[in-house]
Structure 1
Amino acid sequence: MLRISPILSTPPLGPSARRFANGAILVESPLSPPAMLTMIQGIENRLGRRRYRRWGARSVDIDIILWSGGPWRSRTLTIPHAAYRTRAFVLTPLLAVAPDWRDPHLAMTVRHLHARLQKAAPKS
């Protein structure tokens, strides 16, 4: 593991009623995206994840947000993660581990994407 973010407590996205703990890690690995996904799903299973329904309650959810090889798309995996640019609970921890990482589609850094999302957020 190269870097780990602080843990962020966030409200749920979807029908869950509980809060979530979100974080990000930066790792270096020789695994391809499909092999990394298989490894991650094994970790989730060992931690008690059961896949019943989309947006359902889950004990853990590990996503691959970005990788150094640029975009990746298959039937089971899309990198970058499809919605990461619009989710503060993803961008905030990601900012702590990879602020200068560039989105392969927009060529914007994580720092810029985070600032743009903060600027667009409604003020309370």
Structure 2
Amino acid sequence: MSGRGGPGGFAERIGAQVEDADDGGARIAFEVGEEHLNPAGTLHGGVLATLVDTAMGQAVRTTTGEGEVPATSQLTVTYLRPGKPGALTVTARLRTRGAHLTVCEADVEQDGEALAHAVATFALLER
């Protein structure tokens, strides 16, 4: 899948847009608005977790066969600095693919600075 579009589900509902997804990688664009902020006025960590999970899921889907469905089984997000209103980008890539588990990484950047780094394991389920 290459090209721009919504990822579907919750991530699309909050405004995530898939810019590219191909060959074990994916890139998501997101515009942080006031509705995405926590009481401290910074980007809510749950929004970031949703974005990295979605980007990594999109990356995994570029390598799955017919009937394989990736399901997040582990997600670790390291928050490096607070996000603010404005554009950000999430870039995800496969690190290792096994018969039943796949490991991915994702990085979030805003204004040329790293906001978060994530690692996830996806189980490959049969439909």
Larger helix fraction of residues: 1
In the superposition, the TM-score normalised over structure 1's length comes to 0.30
Larger strand fraction of residues: 2
In the superposition, the TM-score normalised over structure 2's length comes to 0.29
- Larger Cα-atom Rg: 1
